[in-house]
Amino acid sequence: MPDERVEFTAKLKKYIYKASDSDYKVASIDVSDATSNRVARNPWGSVTLTGKFTMMKNVEYLVVAEKQDNAKYGVQYSLVNIKRKNPIEEMSAGDFQRFLIAINPIKGGLINKTYPDARAIFEKQDVEALTKIKGIGEKTALALFNKYESQKDYSPAYAVYSEWGFTNQTVKRICKHFGSVDKAVLVLERNPYELMNVGGIGFKTIDAKALENGIAANDKRRVRAFVMDYFDNLTMSGSSWTSISNLTGFLNKEIFDCDIEDTIDWVANSGLFIVKTVNGVERVTRASDYQDEKDIAKDLIRLRDAQSWIKTIKRVGSIVKGIEDEQGWEYSDEQKHAISKILKQNVVLLQGSGGVGKTSIMKAVIKVLRENGYTVASCALSGKASDNLTQVTGLQGRTIHRLLGIGGAPNAQYNSDNPLPYNVVVLDEVSMVDTGLLAKLLRAIPSGAKFIMIGDSAQLDSIGVGTMRDIIDSHVIPTVTLETIHRQAKKSAIITHSLQYRYGQMPKDVTEKDSWKLKGENKDLGYVFEPYSNESNLLADAYKVFRYVLKRYDVKDVQIITPMTKNCDQLNTMAQRVVNPESPDKHEYENKTKGFVLREGDKVLNVANNYKTVDVTGENILPIFNGNTGIIEKIDVDESDQDNNEVEITVDFDGIGKVLLSGKQVESLRLGYAMTVHKSQGSTIPCVIIVLPFQYMLNSRELLYTAITRASQECYMLTSMRTLKATIKKSSATVHHSNLIDMLKKEGE
């Protein structure tokens, strides 16, 4: 017998069950006005409703549901559709005041007193307007907005988008992005590929659905979306431009019967791309990327040629001598020359491999500048990288995002109209920073300020279009290259072996017989070799080494690094069992989608930018970004939210502080005992365990060099000799196409 579908008006009595990781609920409801069939009630006269929904008490809802017989719980109704009987979007100002009182009597009263008609504030989600009210912080404002959103009628969009296989949660996100349900429905009808502008929906996702729903492979809308996706992938691979001939060749190969002439005409005239002939090649660059490169070139030369604020610098010799006495060794002539050049130039790039003394040089530079009364800010892409200079110089480092105030951090957003209030800005690990973020940083640095970049060109390329190599090769920005490994570093196998691997050489003192042995005068690099056929044993080896190093290091100071995400999952599970096993004294959160458990005390990695997370007071937005790591301090249930008991997780993030994540925000957390080499780039960690199984596509000498040089005190490499030899033979260095070098040369003439 098919399920019986019924329509009725309902009010919430109480929630019987709420899932912690989704909107799924089981509710007891009062039902009236059944329009078809008879609604089965329990002995208390109520009805059981199941599904993903949010209902408020004392509000009437129009419900469509299917009757189901549950062997354990009896008759229940599975939700098909639900909406308020009186749509929230059509409420009068007076009704909206009553709605606010219903969801939060105290805060609602404050809002009504300050804003008699707050409908526009809630529709625009104007956090600033609500936080002007004493007693309402950013967390409370966001919670109120979420409650408002949960009461909107999305049913017209649900109906259309469900035919394309979109979940209700995704449909809400789409409607929010486009500003209304009607606009979202119109977009799907007009050009479904516009959904690529919605976060989390890529070309592959929408393309598969579009083809299933009858859009032709050579439809203009699809071809143009295909071109946009092509440039997304191009920039992720490190290039900003391609030639017209490469683009047309790719289109002919990938799209049958593509109208090439129409497509190239659109590329040339849409305003989305810049087409220029350089050295006889017609280059196509996405307009936004071209503008970023152009701004970087202009701003670097602007800063280079400006009248410097650094007028006089005194006592350089005595300050440097004091640092030498403190550290117990003297700077070399090469290092002293570097310090002098950095202090004299408005803009300078300091580059060199591990062991050449970049950080110790910056210690002297920063101390000289600060003791002469100049203000200095240091930053890097990741929280770990921003901590590097902090540990040596004592100057508090920040992520670039936090320094600029991107995404609602406590300080204001800094840009060309509101420049940073510092005499000197230091950017560490510049090789990691792509053009988009470097352009934002440079726009915010005022003319007259000093800008110092630090990097290592032998590391893995940034994800996105990089800048460091073009800056060096342009020869228009002063560059200091350190080449001599200082005496102390020569004692370290971390330094000496990593440099040999960097140039594709095998250290003479490394053989298969050296398994479970430490190398270097400092005994700081250990090797564990398995036969190539037994690389599956590397997980067990990692277990042994991990337990061994934890006898001397805190778990925060140990990082397992491996090339592939799949290996990270296995290594994280192993590490969690060692350092933070299940305990009745520790609260947990299970990510059922990804199949892992987080518990209090776990080391975690954040894998998505989140601009709306808050500090532990709940009153200040404190954004977190992809790659941030920290320790879970607390996992709790927010009992104050009567409509949706959400999991709340407090994480103490490195370089950021304590951040509160709730609801969907916690889905960006992963166990962080193990991470990929790419995720670790820019970090400096006391003890590193490298698990290196054979992986033809990923393994390279650049990856190996990057992994080893993450370690500042000890490193252990777990691999097979065959894999190690294959890794150092292969280079991942590729030719990247960017406009920056030509722009720098032109601007710097």
Question: How far is 693 from 665, CA to CA, in rounded Å?
Answer: 33
362 SS3 class: helix
* Residue 76: strand pairing partners: 68
Domain boundary among 84, 117, 137: 84
Q: Is residue 743 part of a domain?
A: no
Question: How far is 736 from 368, CA to CA, in rounded Å?
Answer: 38
Is the per-residue pLDDT at 641 higher than 50? no
Question: How far is 285 from 244, CA to CA, in rounded Å?
Answer: 10
Q: How many domains does the chain have?
A: 5
Q: Which residue did the predictor score with more confidence, 429 or 45?
A: 429
Query: Taking residues 7-27, what's their average pLDDT?
Result: 84
Query: Taking residues 362-371, what's their average pLDDT?
Result: 94
Residues 34 and 79 in one domain: yes
User: φ, ψ for residue 156 (rounded to 5)?
Assistant: -60, -40
What's the chain's average pLDDT? 88
Residue 278, domain CATH: 1.10.10
Residues 675 and 561 in one domain: yes
User: CB count, 10 Å around CB of 25?
Assistant: 21
User: φ, ψ for residue 606 (rounded to 5)?
Assistant: -90, 135
Is the per-residue pLDDT at 8 higher than 80? yes
Query: Taking residues 634-647, what's their average pLDDT?
Result: 56
Crossing angle between the packed helical segments 358-371 and 316-327, to the nearest 10 degrees = 130
Is residue 102 within 8 A of residue 58, CB to CB? The reply is: yes
Question: How far is 572 from 675, CA to CA, in rounded Å?
Answer: 8
Q: Is residue 238 part of a domain?
A: yes
Is the per-residue pLDDT at 328 higher than 80? yes
Q: Is residue 741 part of a domain?
A: no
- Token pair, residue 515, equals 């398994």
Crossing angle between the packed helical segments 155-162 and 181-190, to the nearest 10 degrees = 20
Question: How far is 200 from 80, CA to CA, in rounded Å?
Answer: 25
Band (749; pLDDT cuts 50, 70, 90):
confident
Write out the H or E segment, with its range, that includes residue 81.
strand 74-84
Residues 76 and 106 in one domain: no
pLDDT in tens, 647-666: 889 999 887 889 988 877 88
Residues 636 and 674 in one domain: yes
Residue 35: the pLDDT is 56
Is the per-residue pLDDT at 163 higher than 90? no
Residue 643: the pLDDT is 37
Question: How far is 739 from 749, CA to CA, in rounded Å?
Answer: 16
Residue 487: the pLDDT is 65
262-267 contacts at long range (C-beta below 8 A, 24 or more positions apart) = 262/220, 263/220, 263/223, 263/224, 263/227, 266/220, 266/224, 267/227
Residue 128: the pLDDT is 85
Residue 646: the pLDDT is 60
3-state secondary structure 93-108: HHHHHHHHHHHCHHHH
Question: How far is 421 from 489, CA to CA, in rounded Å?
Answer: 37
Residue 449, domain CATH: 3.40.50.300
Q: Is residue 654 part of a domain?
A: yes
Residues 520 and 388 in one domain: no
List, as one string, the DSSP characters of 51-72. Answer: EE----TT--EEEEEEEEEETT
Is the per-residue pLDDT at 667 higher than 60? yes
Question: How far is 526 from 714, CA to CA, in rounded Å?
Answer: 8
pLDDT in tens, 176-227: 888 778 889 999 999 999 999 987 788 999 999 999 999 999 999 999 999 9
Question: How far is 482 from 574, CA to CA, in rounded Å?
Answer: 40
Residue 462: the pLDDT is 63
Band (27; pLDDT cuts 50, 70, 90):
very high
Q: Which residue did the predictor score with more confidence, 649 or 593?
A: 649
| Domain hosting residue 541, numbered range | 493-729
Q: Any residues with CB less than 8 A from the CB of 677 and at least 6 apart, and which? A: 460, 561, 562, 563, 703, 706, 707
Q: Are strands 603-606 and 669-671 parallel, antiparallel or unpaired?
A: antiparallel
User: φ, ψ for residue 99 (rounded to 5)?
Assistant: -60, -45
Is the per-residue pLDDT at 704 higher than 50? yes
CA 635 to chain centre: 22
Question: How far is 212 from 77, CA to CA, in rounded Å?
Answer: 31
Q: Is residue 742 part of a domain?
A: no
pLDDT in tens, 615-629: 877 667 777 888 888
Question: How far is 176 from 161, CA to CA, in rounded Å?
Answer: 14
User: CB count, 10 Å around CB of 36?
Assistant: 10
Report percent pLDDT > 70 for the chain: 94
Q: Which residue did the predictor score with more confidence, 370 or 354?
A: 370
390 SS3 class: helix
Residue 461: the pLDDT is 66
User: φ, ψ for residue 19 (rounded to 5)?
Assistant: -70, 145
Residues 677 and 716 in one domain: yes
Residue 76, domain CATH: 2.40.50.120
User: Of 132-141, 509-518, 536-545, 652-661, which has the strongest mean pLDDT?
Assistant: 536-545
- The CA-atom distances, in angstroms, between 565 and each of 431, 464, 670, 676, 679 are 22, 19, 11, 6, 10
CA 463 to chain centre: 12
Q: Is residue 749 part of a domain?
A: no
Residues 168 and 264 in one domain: no
Domain boundary among 84, 116, 148: 84
* Residue 660: strand pairing partners: 614, 650
Residues 425 and 402 in one domain: yes
pLDDT in tens, 241-274: 999 999 999 999 999 999 999 999 999 999 999 9
Is residue 382 within 8 A of residue 584, CB to CB? The reply is: no
Q: Is residue 738 part of a domain?
A: no
Residues 410 and 519 in one domain: no
Residue 410: the pLDDT is 44
Is residue 356 within 8 A of residue 486, CB to CB? The reply is: yes
Residue with tokens 């002063």: 478
Residue 524: the pLDDT is 94
Report percent pLDDT > 90 for the chain: 51
Residues 608 and 572 in one domain: yes
User: Of 143-147, 358-362, 392-396, which has the strongest mean pLDDT?
Assistant: 358-362
Residues 571 and 656 in one domain: yes
3-state secondary structure 563-627: CCHHHHHHHHHHHHHHHCCCCCCCCEEEECCCCEEEECCCEEEECCCECCCEECCCCCECCECCC
User: Of 100-114, 249-263, 670-684, 688-702, which has the strongest mean pLDDT?
Assistant: 249-263
Is residue 222 within 8 A of residue 718, CB to CB? The reply is: no
Q: Is residue 295 part of a domain?
A: no
Domain boundary among 431, 466, 484: 484
Is residue 334 within 8 A of residue 482, CB to CB? The reply is: yes
Query: In which order are the strands placed within the sheet that holds 241-243?
Result: 241-243, 281-286, 273-278
Residue 463: the pLDDT is 66
Q: Are strands 588-591 and 558-562 parallel, antiparallel or unpaired?
A: unpaired
Band (32; pLDDT cuts 50, 70, 90):
confident
Residues 412 and 513 in one domain: no
